[in-house]
């Protein structure tokens, strides 16, 4: 009897002391490199400036634009309704909560699309879905929406339709811009990911 108890005592002690060596789950969980590679080589993450413009004009509630440029650039010019999270601050407390909300499409925006792409890769590595990159970034935005080039007269009608859309968008954005108040950005409708569901309990 006593020998069994001694054995059990030691076993329990070993198990308990073992917990001291369990590393905490402080590191964010990351997806495997193979998965990441698969995701990177697919071009499905890109959305065009036209698509973004359309979603803004239509007031698509699932759109969340995240401007990853430095705050100074954001102050100077930013898309209406976009949120500023500079790339360096991406992993700060709480910022990751904006991503991965079911039903929300997060579109990363930068001047060209390099910083936005980097942000995308980072969030993808953390296993976050629902993220996109605006192809060409704000530079492309300027060239297509703010200052669209008129297609030649003999271009296919699709091009003309696109141009017409872009002209309309140009009016919307340049006209709307002057209406927005200086200084403060447009009220951003953001939905943070809810704190993970906590079970209810009691006595």
Partner 1 sequence: MGPLIPNGIIGGGWDFVIAILIGVAFGFILEASGFSSSRNLAGVFYGYNFVVLRVFFTALIVAMVGLMYFDYVGWLNLSQIFVLPTFLTPMIVGGVIMGVGFVIGGFCPGTSFTGIAIGKLDAVFFAIGLYLGIFGFSLAFPLFEDFFTSGDMGNVTLMDITGIPASYFAVAFTVMALAAFWGTMFIEKRVRKNMKQYKF
Partner 2 sequence: MSSDKTNIQEPKYINPYLGGVLLGLLIIVTVFITGRGLGASGAIKSAVVTTSNTIAPKATEANTYMCQFIGGDHSPMWTWLVFESLGVLLGGIISGIVFGRMKKFRTDHGPRITSKKRLVLALIGGALFGLGSQFGRGCTSGAALSGTATFALGGVIVMFAIFGTGYAVAYFFRKFWI
**CA-to-CA distance for 37 and 32, rounded, in angstroms?**
9
Using CB under 8 A, pick the residue from 8, 65, 92, 94 that binds partner 2.
Answer: 8
Report the site for partner 2 in 101-140 (rule: CB under 8 A).
none
Query: Which residue number, 181 or 201, has a Cβ lying nearer to partner 1?
Result: 201
203 lies in the site for partner 2, by CB under 8 A: yes
| Residue 203: CB minimum distance to partner 2, A | 3
- Choose one: 111-119, 141-149, 176-184, 194-202; the region binding partner 2 (CB under 8 A): 194-202
199 lies in the site for partner 1, by CB under 8 A: yes
What does each C-alpha distance from 133 to 8, 21, 41, 99, 175 come to in angstroms?
Answer: 57, 41, 14, 13, 25
18 lies in the site for partner 2, by CB under 8 A: no
Paired strand residues for 63:
105
83-84 β-sheet, strand order: 46-47, 131-134, 105-109, 63-67, 83-84
Question: Around 100, how many Cα atoms within 13 Å sit in the side-chain half-sphere?
Answer: 14
Least Cα distance to 87 among 65, 106, 109, 64 occurs for 109
**CA-to-CA distance for 64 and 30, rounded, in angstroms?**
23
**CA-to-CA distance for 166 and 160, rounded, in angstroms?**
10
Query: Which residue number, 37 or 203, has a Cβ lying nearer to partner 2?
Result: 203
37 lies in the site for partner 1, by CB under 8 A: no
26 lies in the site for partner 1, by CB under 8 A: no
Kind plus residue range of the DSSP H or E element containing 22? none
| Residue 1: CB minimum distance to partner 2, A | 10
198 lies in the site for partner 2, by CB under 8 A: yes
Q: Which residues are near partner 2 by CB under 8 A?
A: 5, 8, 198-203
Residues in contact with partner 1 by the rule CB under 8 A: 5, 9, 12-13, 15-20, 22-25, 196-201
């Amino acid at each position: 009897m006593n020998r069994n108890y001694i054995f059990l005592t030691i076993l329990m002690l070993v198990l308990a002391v073992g917990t001291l060596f369990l590393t905490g789950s402080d590191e964010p969980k990351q997806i495997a490199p193979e998965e990441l590679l698969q995701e990177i080589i697919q071009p499905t993450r890109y959305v065009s400036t036209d698509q973004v413009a359309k979603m803004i004009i239509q007031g698509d509630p699932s759109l969340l634009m995240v401007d990853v440029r430095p705050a100074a650039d954001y102050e100077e010019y930013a898309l209406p309704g976009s949120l500023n999270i500079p790339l360096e601050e991406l992993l700060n407390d709480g910022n990751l909560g904006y991503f991965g909300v079911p039903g929300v499409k997060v579109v990363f925006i930068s001047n060209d699309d390099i910083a936005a792409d980097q942000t995308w890769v980072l969030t993808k590595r953390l296993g976050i879905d629902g993220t996109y990159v605006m192809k060409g970034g704000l530079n492309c935005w300027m060239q297509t929406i703010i200052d669209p080039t008129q297609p030649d007269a003999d271009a296919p009608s699709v091009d003309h339709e696109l141009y017409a859309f872009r002209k309309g968008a140009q009016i919307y954005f340049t006209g709307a811009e002057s209406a927005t108040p200086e200084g403060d950005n447009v009220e951003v409708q953001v939905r943070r990911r809810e704190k993970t569901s906590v079970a209810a309990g009691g006595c």
